[in-house]
Amino acid sequence: MAGLWTIGEIRKPEVMKNSGSSSRYSNDHLNYDILVRIFMALNTAELLVASTVCKSWMQASRNHLLWNKLDLTALNSSIFNVQKIRNTWNDIFSQRKLNLLLKLGVRLGNGNIRCLIFNYYTYFSDFQLITAAERTPNLQRLVFPDSGHLSKDGIYNAMRSWRGLVSITITSIVNRPHMFSAIGKYCKNLSELKLTFDFEQHHADALVEHIPNLMVLSIRYVSVDMKALCHVLKSMERLVLVNICHSTIYDLSDYSIELYDIKSLRKHLSISCLEKLISCQVNECCRCQRHNYDPRRHLEDIWHNDEVRCFAID
């Protein structure tokens, strides 16, 4: 069909095109272990392309050492050139392309994928979520994208397949009450949660109700309701770390908004609760000062990185 994109149409790097031009460098003569070592230096986008070159490269690209993590942020590279614009790849041909890449990635992973990071910018749907969930049964860490739309049924079906999840990064596209209830119903081992949207009282209520065994919470670089923060710190007994770095802590009353820093929080929290907080000095933190002049908070680097080591993405 004219215009239909296939994996065979990916523009391969010149080194791949020329790799078979001389019999001395024939793919058949490359040692499997050497190929695997070479492929370990590639990102996900490059590895997907390499797997389509020939049979021996396909076999090497399926090695379990290459697929502990499926990181689709690599689609921003020049090979696929995903534009850094929210909800990009939203047309029918781009969605087919994304579906094909995702299916290829999880097939190459062959059940070995432990960490799945979706692309921050590409439009994300139920189909991609369920496709990934059905083919990554051993997933332990999940990072949602910031673009797209997911239904309640899609979320429940995915969480049902991901019962072994330990860590989740939740973005605004799954900022729904049923996200927390689905996690609470199926993901009993979840201990780490990162939220990239403003933290309000109903979020705190949902955490206390559905994920009471949470140990690490990151609500970094967002607006945080002070009462909600106090609620999780006082009610979640297993909580050991709460990252509020670069966040604005506020208390909203009928007539005004009061802002809090770590010093003023001492009036509302016990020493044991304060010891759980990771915070920065607002008056001295350059990042917080820049944040005051930049309303764009949910940027890719904020989503991608974190001061809490368990959320730091290599």
Which pair of structure tokens corresponds to residue 25? 């460098």
The answer as to whether 73 is a domain residue is no
111 and 209 in a single domain? The answer is yes
| Residue 285 CA, distance from chain mean position | 26
27 and 166 in a single domain? The answer is no
Q: Provide the domain limits for residue 60.
A: 12-66
- Provide the pLDDT for residue 130: 94
The pLDDT tens digits for 224-261 are 999 999 999 999 999 999 998 888 888 887 677 888 77
The pLDDT tens digits for 251-308 are 887 677 888 777 788 888 888 888 898 887 655 666 666 655 454 555 667 777 777 7
Give me the number of domains the chain comprises. Answer: 2
The answer as to whether 4 is a domain residue is no
The answer as to whether 5 is a domain residue is no
- Provide the pLDDT for residue 259: 80
DSSP character string of 160-198: HH-TT--EEEE-GGG-SHHHHHHHHHH-TT--EEEE-S-
- Mean pLDDT, all residues of the chain: 83
The answer as to whether 72 is a domain residue is no
Residues 174 and 164: their CA atoms lie apart, in Å, by 19
From 52-66, 79-93, 149-163, 233-247, the region with the lowest mean pLDDT: 79-93
Residue 255 CB partners (closer than 8 Å, separation 6+): none
148 and 35 in a single domain? The answer is no
48 and 125 in a single domain? The answer is no
The answer as to whether 79 is a domain residue is no
- Provide the pLDDT for residue 80: 85
Query: ∠ at Cα 229 (187, 118), nearest 5°?
Result: 45
- Provide the pLDDT for residue 265: 82
The answer as to whether 227 is a domain residue is yes
167 and 278 in a single domain? The answer is yes
192 and 58 in a single domain? The answer is no
Residues 152 and 245: their CA atoms lie apart, in Å, by 31
- Provide the pLDDT for residue 299: 67
- Choose among 80, 78, 126, 84: nearest CA to 105: 80
46 and 119 in a single domain? The answer is no
40 and 103 in a single domain? The answer is no
120 and 23 in a single domain? The answer is no
150 and 272 in a single domain? The answer is yes
The answer as to whether 74 is a domain residue is no
35 and 61 in a single domain? The answer is yes
Tell me if residue 32 falls in helix, strand or coil: helix
| CATH of residue 127 | 3.80.10.10
43 and 154 in a single domain? The answer is no
The answer as to whether 1 is a domain residue is no
Answer whether residue 140 shows pLDDT above 70: yes
Amino acid (one-letter) located at 190: L
Whose tokens are 């809090």? That residue is 260
The pLDDT tens digits for 185-232 are 999 999 999 999 899 999 999 999 999 999 999 998 889 999 999 999
Residue 100 CB partners (closer than 8 Å, separation 6+): 5, 6, 7
